[in-house]
Every structure is written in C-alpha cells, then in structure tokens.
A and B are shown apart, each in its own frame.
Chain A
Amino acid sequence: HASFSDPNAIHFNDPKWSNMWYIHCNNKNSRCRSEMNILAAWQRGYTGKNVVVTILDDGIERNHPDLAQNYDPVASYDVNGNDHDPTPRYDTRSENIHGTRCAGEVAAAANNSHCIVGIAYNAHIGGIRMLDGDVTDIVEAKSLGIRPDYIHIYSASWGPKDDGKTVDGPGLLTKQAFEQGIRKGRKGLGSIFVWASGNGGRQGDHCSCDGYTSSIYTISISSTTENGNKPWYLEVCSSIMATTYSSGEYNERRIVTTDARQRCTDAHTGTSVSAPIVAGIIALALEANRLLTWRDVQHLVVKTSRPVHLKAEDWKTNAAGHRVSHHYGFGLVDADAMVLEATKWRTVPPQHTCSQIAELHTRHIFAGQSLNSSLTTSGCSGDTEQHVGYLEHVVAKVLIVHPRRGDLEMNLISPSGTRSQLLAKRVYDSSNEGFRNWEFMTVHFWGERPEGMWTLEIIDSPSKLRNPEVLANLKEWTIILYGTSQNPQQHYSAQQSQSRMLVVPSPELILEEPEVQEEEEEEKEEEEYTGLCHSECGDQGCDGPDADHCLNCAHFSLGSLKSGRTCVSHCPPGHYGDIVSHRCKRCYKGCDQCVGRSAGDCLSCQRGLYLNTLNSSCINTCPLGHFADEDQRQCLKCHETCTMCLRYADRCTSCSEGYSLAGMTCVPECTNGTFFHLEEMTCSPCHSSCRTCTGLGKEDCIQCAKGYLQQEWRCVQTCASGYYAGEAAGLPHKICHRCEDNCLCCSGPGPTCTKCKAGYSLISRTCIVNASCNNADEVFCEMVKSNRLCERTFYSQFCCRTCLMNG
C-alpha cells in the first residue's frame, strides 16, 4: 500500500509509472491531465478487487509478468482453438498482440517493478481468444456468452471494417447472446459490455454503421488526445457515450501498456485504448457497489462524464441539461465521481420500451433535396408497461431503398428541439442496397421527455452523377424509445442533496460556535405592556403578547439579542435545552439532537451525517465494520460475518476471516470439496469429480478432484474418445484436449492419431476419409501420389486412400 493522503506523493515502482500522465501529475514540467480522476478513486480504496474483466480479442499473454498476478483462467477461453488457454499465437508479424495490450490497461499489477499500473490493478483479468481465426456469428456469440455469472465486464476493441462503405453488426446469434447476457448475466444484474467506438484508422466512415457500438447494450467509448483535440482517426456518431484519453499527434503523449513477449509499449492507439480504460473504471465502480445493473452503469457514465477541455464544434445541451457531442458523447469519464455516485446509487426504475411506426405521406427522396418525416408520440402513456416518461436510448429503424447509399445524411430532432445526426454522408459508399431496417441509435436525448413530435430528416446530396430515373424511397421508419416512466433524476437529486450535504465546503459557514455568540448578548429594558403574556413567558411577565416579548421564559429561550430572542417550550433541531440557563444552546456541529455541546453528546445527526455510536459523534463516513443507516442516520454494525457492508448489515462487501463473499453475502469458506449451499446455508459436498465447485452438479466444478481431468465443462476420470489428456496452464489438473478431426484416439496435438472414426483410414497418423472414389483415374491418382498430396488433409478428399491401397 502506498500512502494515499497526498495524491502527488503516490509512487509505484513500475518502470512506466512516470509515463502515465493520464493518471497522475508527478511530471511537473508538463501539463497535468489527470481529469479522469483515477487516482482519486484509488484514494477512496477502490482498485477493482474481486471484479472480473475479460478481453475479447486475439488472446492474452497470461504469463506476462504484469498480468500473471491478476490473470484468471476461469474468465478465459480460446474460442479459436477450442480450449481453455487463450495464449496468443506468436508469429513473425506479431499479429496477435492486441489483446495483451488491452488487458494491461485494465489490470496490470501495481508496484511489482514491471511495466505499468492498470486502472483496476487488483481486478481479475481474463482473455477470450476469438479474433485469430475465422470470425463468424457463432464465434462472436460463443465469446460473448462465456461464463456470464462469473465475468462482470466484457471489453472489446474491434468491429466491422471502417472503409466507409460497410454497414455491419452483430449477427442473429450474437444479438441473442447480447440479450441473454443483459437479461441473465451477473445473476440478473446484466453483463457489462464496453466497446471501442468505430474508428479503425481510415477516413470517410461514420460509426453509426457499426452495429456493435450502435447497440443499446454496449457502452461505446471514444477518444481524445492529451490536448483535448479530435484524434485524426476518430469517427463521430450519436451512439458514443463517453471518452477517455488516447494517442494523438506525434507531439502528444501516449498511453502505455503491456505488450506481447513480456514487454511494454506506448504504441497502443485509437479507441482500442479507450474501451479497456473504461472497463477498468467500471470495475472500480462495481467494487464500490456490486448491485449496479447494466443500466445503472450507463446512467452513471452519463451523469459523471463531462466536457472539461474537450474541443468539438458540436457540443450542445439537451433538454435535460446534459452536455453531449457526436465526438465525445457526454465527455471525459470521471472515475472518482463514478465510484462516489456508485456508493449511494439506487437502482434506476425499470426500462420501458415504446415503439411507433411513422405514417408516411411522401416517400420519394429526390436527389439534391431533403425529406422530412414526422411522427407524434405520447411515449405510450396509455400503457403502464410501455410508458416512457424519461428517455435513455432512442433508435430509429429505417428501411430505405437508394441507388447510392453513401449520398445520404440523416438527422433526428426530438420534441424538445435537440438535433442528433444519425448518419453522415459517406463518399466511399456506393452500395445500392440502401438500409434494410438498420437501427440507428442515439443517446443525445438522454433524460428528455419523449412526448411530442419527432422528425426524421433525410438529406440526399449526390457526390456523383446519378440516374435521375432511379428514385430513392423511404419505405418505412420506426422510432423505438427506451427509458423509464418515472424520473430517474429525482432519484439522482435525492442523492444529489445528500451528496451536497456530505461534502460540506466549509463547516464554519454553516454552523457557528454557540458559546462565543451568546456571551456577548445584553438585555435591554422595554416600555410597560399590560396585556396577556404568551404562555411560554416566565414569571417576570412580558412587554407584548408574543413569545419574543417575554422578560423571561417558562422553559427555554432561543436565539440571541442580535438575531432576536424568543421563548420556546422545547429547543429546535441542532440545539439542546440547558437546564441551568434555560437556554437553547447549539449542539456540536452536525448533531441534530444532543444532550450537550460536546462532540460526544449527540443523540442523532443532521441529514447526510451519521451517528457513530462508538463515541456519539456525527460523521459522514462510518467506521470500518459499520454501515450508514439512512433511516436512523446512524452507523450500525455490520453482520458479524462482514468486515465491510453497504446500506444493510447483511449486504457485505468484504468478509471476516473464514468467510468469503457470495454476491453480497458472507458465507463460510467451505473447505475444498465443498461449496456453500445458499438455500441450505451449509457447506455441501461438491460432486465427487470436483476439487472445488460452485454447486452440486457435475458442471459446477471449478477445479477437478485428484485423478480427474477437465473435459469441456466437466471433470472426468478418463478422456472420452477423440480427446487426449494434456497439461493445462494455471490449473492444478490436466485437461482433455480434442484430437484432430475424425480421430478417435490420439496421444497429443497434431497428427498423432492411432485410431480413426468409421469411414476413415489412418494414414501417417492422420485420418483420411476412405470413401471410394470410383471416378479417380490412374493419371489423377499418380499425380496425387507423386506430389504426396495425401499427406495434406485438404487433398485427402481426392480419394488418396484408394490410390494408396492400390499401391
């Protein structure tokens, strides 16, 4: 642990720490750029502990000295190789370095004299190798669906081509995987998907044509340079939510991270840098509050990100007061604000969806002109299940026939007049496919009211001559409003006022010291009054009918001569009745009720502060082992199994010795071979094949028992046919690896087959289909034989077996 009391005093011994300008300001002779406030979040004690992040990419170098400590094999898989080891394939062109670079940004270990410090340097980091091979819908769906109850955050820094003429996104299976992750991941709280917004290093593209970043389920992250400029590679679009620093011009500082082959690098660039940074920051926020749902996280990003010095000509304030831009979304992320808000966050109201198809009057879009199509909505106010009163994401699903798609620009204008550009012209896109129900998503209307008229504006400005007879046609467009029926802002503001109370700028301003004031008062004589006195007046009478005319008080006097004194039956909050002087005296600062003026005399505290029962004082942060009870405004003890808890005694965030965290409950650490059965509240034995497990079933093993091997997701005593037993890095047991195709028995990877499936013959230890091919003529077989093609699987279908058998 480094001493955090003075941020500038923090120093890790990692060699590249001094280059991490985007985290600290230690380098006095250049401008401080630590507005992402990552250090401040660490200062609050959040470093990503027990949060699991995985990188979907081309692999992760799990034995990199800066990654090994936090590497988590359970959060890793190799979809390309179909095994549990995501180590990248090393080749001369260093193609597969990307995943390792991303991983370091998230969770490189701190203070270990290696390379850098990750944003969440105590988080678990895994890798899913899925880019180093044919990427198909199945590959992506599998990757996004790996261990959704174990992995909290998936970070991806890839997407469709950015050639300015591609319109592509997740396939059918991958969309289902997204929805499944959102619905069921993290035991129903929803998996968190962070995506690098759509740059790729070429010009003339618009990231609305990238279906991953345009999904409402992904948090799309943009980049800015050290000086707040738009990087040359950046694409703009309306789905960007927030921004981090990344590489810029040659004279601007860069981001440093781990590199393959156990190295460090500052060559990691583009928005590939930004997604992992935000994944790390969200890990800090999840550590602060495990109960954040996927939408809570997005609301947090919207609420805490801000423009700071980011330069963009299109910054605007939407009708809910959010500053937003097509370049940077809601602005630069703020880790400290995120974790602070997270600690007090209350889950936002449920998401509602309201969609409406526009009635089209005119459909033709004439070249060189624009077409406006409007629809009026009530936000489905008639249906309580669908009613959207406050917006989150807005999607315009558009079906357009057009001879040259790239000539189109589209804008969506909300009833409040906010204008969001859904698509910009793309001069390279000469496709005549139009848009087939493509979903353009914008976050620019976040927090606005949806009721009223929405207008889709389509501008057609040909960049080349077109055949005037071929008309463009708006076939259909649907608006889909996502949001809440209640105002999440109220939810915010309740916390806002609290947070304002919690963060009191200068206590002297608000609460004066009582003794000093009162000793200075003198009483003045009044002229004669003969009417009735107020009931609170004492035996010396009064000079008027009100309580402030009394000459002495029956119970207590409140106030001072200067501000006016009155008699009261009991003292107001923040005061106590001094029996001797019959005066209301102020309690110690922060106290709401007290029996004396010293700090230890408090009975209850003012809003935002909590009574520390250990010493009866009012504090804004409860001591360790206690939680702040909002109702009683007291620090109450956590459950004895917890060392730290949140909002309730049994909502634990860290556990006492001998207990471990399951969700937010501390359960007895069960010995190896057992797991804590939540329903029965006891340690129950794992399946006999498991050494450690998360449940009763055979599929719940985490590690296999002695003498067992892991095959797919189970533990078996012997590998099934078609598999061979092999070592598994990072695991105490062996794993059954798959033999080559069509092989039933093998002794290892590659051509080591000893027995083939029916219909295949074993030739030079590989299985060749033995279909007879009666149409192979002599010459052909001779060619095959002379070129020894039979030894290559691809040609084996040319009936090599027949030729060979014939000698």
Chain B
Amino acid sequence: LSGRGDLYTNHWAVRIAGGAQQADRIAAKYGFRNLGQIGSLEDQYHFHHSRVVRRTAFSLKGLHSFIHMDPKVDWAQQQVVKTRVKR
C-alpha cells in the first residue's frame, strides 16, 4: 500500500436514527447489506455493498452513492484502508 493515495473499500459507516429496522430499510434501498451496529456506538451502522468493487483507488459512483443524500441518513462515510504497522 505504500506510496499511493487512499484505497476505497465496499464498506460504509452510516449514522441513521430510528433503530435497526430503519437502517435495514435504507440499506436495502441502495443495495447495501446492514451488518449491524458498530460496537456500542449508537445509531452507527456497518453497511456492505457487494456490487461495489472491494478495493479501488478512487470512490466509485453509482446508485449506492445516493445514500449520502438520503434525508434519513445523518452521516455516511465510505471506508478507506488505513495502513497500520506493528511496533
């Protein structure tokens, strides 16, 4: 990974109020699968989109991108791979 910019994955962090069912509905609407709440962070959900390529050097656009504009979505972030080295 060294020497290059961000690497985008097909995972999203999404904050949606209204509970898990609401999150499921919104996930399905844009082709995501809701993998559940992120630990104990309230209203923060882990979405996965199997039709977006797993790793790309840029953020692919498509139907799924509209989730960022959904009024019920407070916040959404496509996950990038972080380089972590062992000490």
Binding site for B on A (CB under 8 A): 57-58, 82, 98, 131, 134-138, 140-142, 144-146, 148, 157-163, 166, 168, 171-173, 176-177, 180, 184, 196-201, 270-272, 275, 712, 741-742, 769, 794, 797
Contacts and interface: CB of A to CB of B under 8 A. Distances in A.
Interface in B20-37: 33, 35-36
B10 to A, nearest CB: 10
B41 A145 contact: yes
B84 A131 contact: yes
9 cross-chain pairs, A with B, having the tightest CB-CB distances, nearest first: A145-B39, A136-B79, A196-B87, A272-B87, A271-B87, A200-B85, A157-B87, A134-B81, A135-B84
A160 B83 contact: yes
B85 A180 contact: no
Contacts of B82: 135-137, 140, 160, 168, 171
B50 A741 contact: yes
A641 to B, nearest CB: 32
A146 B83 contact: no
A158 B51 contact: no
A145 B38 contact: yes
A200 B44 CA distance: 32
Of listed A134, A159, A201, residue having the most chain B CB within 10 A: A134
A136 B81 contact: yes
B52 to A, nearest CB: 10
B80 to A, nearest CB: 7
A346 B85 CA distance: 38
A141 B41 contact: yes
> Which of B36, B44, B85 is the most central at the interface, judged by chain A CB atoms within 10 Å of its CB?
B85
A134 B84 contact: no
B87 A200 contact: yes
Nearest to A176: B41
By size class, the interface of chain B is 20 to 34
26 contacts: A58-B86, A134-B7, A134-B9, A135-B84, A136-B9, A137-B77, A137-B79, A138-B11, A138-B13, A140-B82, A145-B39, A158-B84, A158-B85, A158-B87, A162-B85, A171-B82, A173-B41, A176-B44, A180-B39, A196-B87, A198-B87, A199-B87, A200-B85, A270-B87, A271-B87, A769-B50
B41 A180 contact: yes
Contacts of B54: 794
Interface string B47-70: 000110011000000000000000
A397 B79 CA distance: 25
B86 A157 contact: yes
A184 B40 CA distance: 10
B38 A138 contact: yes
Contacts of A272: 86-87
A399 to B, nearest CB: 22
Contacts of A159: 84-85, 87
Contact of B84 (A160, A199, A741, A797): A160
Contact of B40 (A131, A148, A163): A148
A492 to B, nearest CB: 32
Interface of B: 2, 7, 9, 11, 13, 33, 35-36, 38-41, 44, 46, 50-51, 54-55, 77, 79-87
Given A158-B86, A275-B87, A146 B39 contact: yes
Contacts of A184: 40
A631 B2 CA distance: 62
Contacts of B51: 769, 797
B44 to A, nearest CB: 6
Given A158-B84, A271-B87, 5 more contacts: A137-B77, A159-B84, A161-B85, A163-B2, A797-B51
Contacts of A140: 82
A131 B79 contact: no
A271 B51 CA distance: 41
B9, B13, B35, most chain A CB atoms within 10 A: B13
A203 to B, nearest CB: 14
A180 B40 contact: yes
Contact of B38 (A173, A271, A741, A769): A173
Contact of B39 (A131, A142, A201, A275): A142
Contacts of B80: 136-137
A270 B86 CA distance: 9
A265 to B, nearest CB: 14
B13, B38, B40: residue with the most chain A Cβ atoms closer than 10 Å:
B40
A163 B1 CA distance: 13
A686 B41 CA distance: 26
B79 to A, nearest CB: 4
B49 to A, nearest CB: 11
Given A144-B39, A159-B87, A135 B2 contact: no
Contacts of A173: 13, 38, 41, 44
